[in-house]
């Protein structure tokens, strides 16, 4: 996680909206926890904060473009100004 606020409500919502565009199952993994990218609550429960490592796994017909889009969203700091 590179964005200052981590996986807060607005970022989680952006991620869920992005994930819904793909025919893929997207899962986020942090430490011993995991969450489906289609669940805002699940993402918030990961308590992702700046400096934490999050692994993204995708499977399904759109797995590769979904992974690229999610990684781009993380790299863009969820389009938030810091």
* CATH code of 64's domain: 3.30.1340.10
Total domain count, the chain: 1
**Does the active-site annotation cover 25?**
no
46: containing domain? 9-79
Residue 2 lies in a domain: no
Model pLDDT, residue 4? 85
> How confident is the model over 1-31, as pLDDT tens digits?
888 888 999 999 999 999 999 999 999 999 9
Q: If DSSP states are collapsed to H, E and C, what string results for 5-71?
A: CCCCHHHHHHHHHHHCCCCCEEEEEECCEEEECCCHHHHHHCCCCCCCCCEEEEECCCHHHHHHHHH
For the chain, the average pLDDT equals 93
pLDDT for residue 38 is more than 80: yes
Q: How many CA atoms lie within 13 A of 13 on its CB side?
A: 5
Element (H, E) at 55: strand 55-59
pLDDT over 90, % of the chain: 79
Catalytic residue selected from 3, 4, 6, 8: 8
Residue 3 lies in a domain: no
Residue 65 lies in a domain: yes
pLDDT for residue 82 is more than 80: no
């Amino acid at each position: 996680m590179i964005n200052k606020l981590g996986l807060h409500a607005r970022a989680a919502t952006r991620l869920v909206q992005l994930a819904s565009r793909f025919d893929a199952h997207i899962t986020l993994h942090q430490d011993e926890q995991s969450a489906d990218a289609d669940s805002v609550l699940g993402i918030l429960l990961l308590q992702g904060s700046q400096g934490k490592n999050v692994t993204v796994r995708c499977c399904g017909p759109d797995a590769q473009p979904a992974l690229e889009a999610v990684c781009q969203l993380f790299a863009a700091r969820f389009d938030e100004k810091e």
